[in-house]
Amino acid sequence: MTAASTRDDRIPLRMRLSARGLDAVTLLVLPAVGLMVGLFVYPFLYGFWLSFHPKDGLSVVGNYLRFFSEPRLYETIAKTLWIALPVTAINLLAAIPVAFRVRLMRRQRLLTTLLVLPITLGTVLVAEGLLNYLGPQGWLNRTLLLFGLISSPVKLVHNYWGVFLSLVITGFPFTFLLTLSYVTGIDPTLERAAATLGARAASRFRHIFLPLLIPGLAITFCLSFVQAFSVFPSAILLGAPAGPTRVISIAAYEAAFEEYDYSLASAIAMIMAAVQLAIVGLILASRGLFYRGPASGGKG
Amino acid sequence: MTAIEGSADTSKVASSLAHRLWVTAVWTLVGLFIVNLIGMIATVITSSFASRWLQAWLPSGFTTKWYFSAWNEFQLDDVLLVTFQVVFAVVLLSGLFGVPAAYAMARREFPGKKFVMLLFLLPMLVPPITYGIPLATVLYKSGLGGTMAGVILANLVPTVPFVILIMIPFIEQIDPKIEAAARVFGAGTFRLFTMILLPLLLPGMLAALLLVLVRTIAMFELTFLVAGPTSQTLVVALYYAVFAAGVRAVQSIDAMAVIYMAVTVIWLVIALRYVNPAQIVTRGNQATAH
């Protein structure tokens, strides 16, 4: 630093720094950066380091070997994916047509407010509510019985379907609102132009909207998937946490707070992050195969 | 829709019929979702007022006694106090950390800005349970685990980036010439901040902090991983109550759930006066789309 300041000492250091965008205002970013490094980056790196230092201290990769050799542990990946992938796909497939309808509505506020409700109430409350509502004496089973759709109550809680439905209740609004923001971001004149040129609704969707939407839908899928993959309270409260809904976050939680093996817990958290990253990476990479460009249209 | 009356084109009629069926199907889907959602919430509310509710559509009688028993059994006065202390501390601190950082990010181009942006985006993209476990480990090793300070710190991880990402576009749309003009007329940094920036930033800050408030009340995972017996927030206490169902009456747990819903919805309604509901989900994620 001293060598640099003697070389061109005609211009003060402060001015040279501010020419590069570094001045007192830039320093305002530092407290937040420090906080994030301390509470996010450091714990992550520490967890990564800790995962290679197993409790028994035998082997550096001992935790990972243990994870992939014990069915109780490695099966959680498949179980989590088996819940998260179908839920995300269904939520997204349902969200697209609904978003296209709602886009045409002038008064969307009531609907969006209703849909924001399950997101803000959170997974614990939804699990608690569904426990009664979906139960054998709940209103859903009673209604289905009343209309003769079923002959005896369907078991919807303490199994796979309880978790599945809770993820639909919290996940669909999230997916829908994201999709809606992408759909409304497309310039409506593009569709009108296609309609003027004689394109039917189906082909307008296929040739105009879909290519423009793919990047946004890929991101929506990733964000919704990551949420579903980290399902935790409803998998315990509404699912069968010892059986088919023993998801990976339950395994990590048990390792940390029931076995007090923070090292194994960190390893599971790292595996969890890696699986999420792999799926997200896969989706975003395949996005590159499609059109990427402005969705606003018109002249510059 | 009546334009097809005079048309003899049968394919047009057929496609119009298909279109109507499609529209009906879509609205039916939405209707079913909302009916089930309302049914779920109504079940909780009905049950919390039920004196006895077994094997029937509706309870045999109504009472408010469960609210009193829930209040005592779950020590809700303590829990609510902790909840509000945690939530307001998180709101205040995320504003103090987030708004200045957002100002710097909006006004300056500096080397490594993309990297800093990534640092703020990641905690919003990684789900809390993934980073919560290493974070809880660190907090427990440093003696902060189980304390209220630990809970507050853990909750700041998603909220500070959230405030930053909401505030950046808000600050960008304020003309920097206004600040320059104030400088020309001799305003110091402090006066510039209190007399020019603060009033201009207030609407954006209000919206961002209200959203932080609503999100923190409902933030389960991080609080659950870090909280001890004396630093539980309402949502964590609700989880433990449902988890240990059978120990207490169902109605008592439902009464607690209604109190939780009331606390959340009051703030949600206030927040919705200042923000579009879609923002609750999308704003933080918009930045990633580019």
Whole-model pTM: value is 0.86
Mean pLDDT of B222-251: 89
**Domain residue ranges of chain B, discontinuous segments joined by +:** 2-48, 66-289
Residue window 160-219, chain A: list those with CB within 8 Å of chain B. 169, 172-174, 177-178, 180-182, 200-201, 215-216, 219
Structure tokens at B249: 């009456």
- B177 touches A: beta carbon within 8 Å: no
Q: What is the DSSP letter of B239?
A: H
Q: What is the dihedral of CA A14, A18, A22, A27, to 10 degrees?
A: 70
* Cross-chain Cβ contact B264/A121 below 8 Å: yes
DSSP assignment of A157-189: SSSHHHHHHHHHHHHHHHHHHHHHHHHHTS-HH
E strands, B9-102, in order: 50-52, 61-62
Does B232 contact chain A (CB < 8 Å)? Answer: no
> Which of the two residues, B12 and A52, has the higher pLDDT score?
A52
- Helix B250-272 crosses helix B76-107 at what angle (to 10 degrees)? 30
Contacts of B261 in chain A (CB under 8 A): 121, 125
Report the residue of chain B nearest A247, measured CA to CA: B129
CB contact (8 A) between residue A139 and residue B43: yes
State the ipTM, two decimals: 0.84
Q: Are B123 and B176 in contact (CB under 8 A)?
A: no
Closest partner residue to A113 (CB to CB) among B104, B277, B285 is B277
- Residue whose C-alpha is closest to residue B48's, from B37, B62, B36, B38: B62
For residue A210, pLDDT over 50 is answered with yes
Does domain A72-287 fall under CATH 1.20.272.10? My reply is no
pLDDT of residue B59: 86
Q: Is A46 exposed, middle or buried (0-12, 13-18, 19+ CB in 10 A)?
A: middle
Q: Is the pLDDT of residue B247 over 80?
A: no
DSSP secondary structure letter of residue A39: I
| Portion of chain A with pLDDT greater than 90, in percent | 44
Q: Does the pLDDT at position B87 exceed 70? A: yes
Q: Which residue has the higher pLDDT, B194 or B5?
A: B194
Query: Residue B82 has what pLDDT?
Result: 94
pLDDT tops 70 at residue B6: no
Which residue in chain B is spatially nearest to A295 when comparing CA positions?
Answer: B290
Using the predicted structure, report yes or no on whether residue B261 has a pLDDT greater than 80.
yes
Instruction: Look at residue B162 in the predicted model and tell me its pLDDT.
Output: 92
Are A39 and B131 in contact by the 8 Å Cβ rule? The answer is no
Q: Please determine, for residue B286, whether its predicted confidence score (pLDDT) is greater than 50.
A: no
Q: Is A292 left (phi over 0), alpha (psi -120 to 50) or beta?
A: beta
Chain A, window 126-165: residues with a beta carbon less than 8 angstroms from a chain B beta carbon: 126-133, 137-140, 142
Two tokens at A175?
């997916």
The label of the residue with tokens 């054998």 reads A136
Q: Where are the domains of chain A?
A: 72-287
Q: What is the pLDDT of residue B209?
A: 92
CATH architecture group of domain B66-289: Orthogonal Bundle (1.10)
Amino acid at B28: T
Looking at the complex, report in whole angstroms how far the Cα of residue A294 sits from the nearest Cα belonging to chain B: 11
The residue type found at B275 is V
